[in-house]
Amino acid sequence: MSPRVVLIGAPGSGKTTIGRLLAERLGAEFRDTDADIEATAGKTVSDIFVEDGEERFRDLEAEAVRLALVAHDGVLALGGGAILRPETQRRLAGHTVVYLEVGLSDAVRRVGLGSARPLLVLNPRSQLRRLMEERRPIYERLATVRVSTEGREPDQVADDILKEIEA
């Protein structure tokens, strides 16, 4: 078993929103590894960061991705930082990985400056810019398909992904 599509991208790129639309159009299930982590830990991602630290969160995340890649056959959305672990990068090889590209202004608008996202607590705009710049080369290297979400509606992005993966 293997996901039909794995979505990666920065916070605010639309992985969950577009993932749900894409799954619906493919007649498949949608799965989000952040939701898996919260179910396993019994607390929110933010609480895991605050109470247990980022390293513990990344351990839980790597395990959630590992399990989902072998047990889910629909559309899978990974958290924005899931691609940081080398073992996760290796596990994504051979999968259809769609990088949802987003510009800073759209990402900030979607995430919001009063974000409850743990890595964006202090100066969200600056933090988001830094995360995007650091992660962009990894997203680009892992992607088998790249689709821009910049200034576009989720339906349009989902349509473009379908065209790319069914071509």
Q: pLDDT means per 10 residues in the chain (167 residues)?
A: 94 91 96 96 89 92 97 96 95 97 71 51 68 92 95 93 89
Both tokens of 30, joined, read 């949608």
Give the chain's domain count.
1
CA distances from 148 to 11, 17, 72, 129, 160 (A): 14, 14, 25, 17, 9
Q: Where are the alpha helices (DSSP H) in the chain?
A: 15-26, 33-41, 45-52, 54-71, 86-92, 104-111, 124-142, 154-166
Which CATH number do you get for residue 81? Answer: 3.40.50.300
Amino acid identity, position 144: T
pLDDT at 128: 75
pTM: 0.89
Whole domain around residue 55: which residue ranges? 5-166
Gap between the Cα atoms of 99 and 102, Å rounded: 9
pLDDT at 7: 98
pLDDT at 114: 47
pLDDT at 40: 94
pLDDT at 108: 64
pLDDT at 85: 95
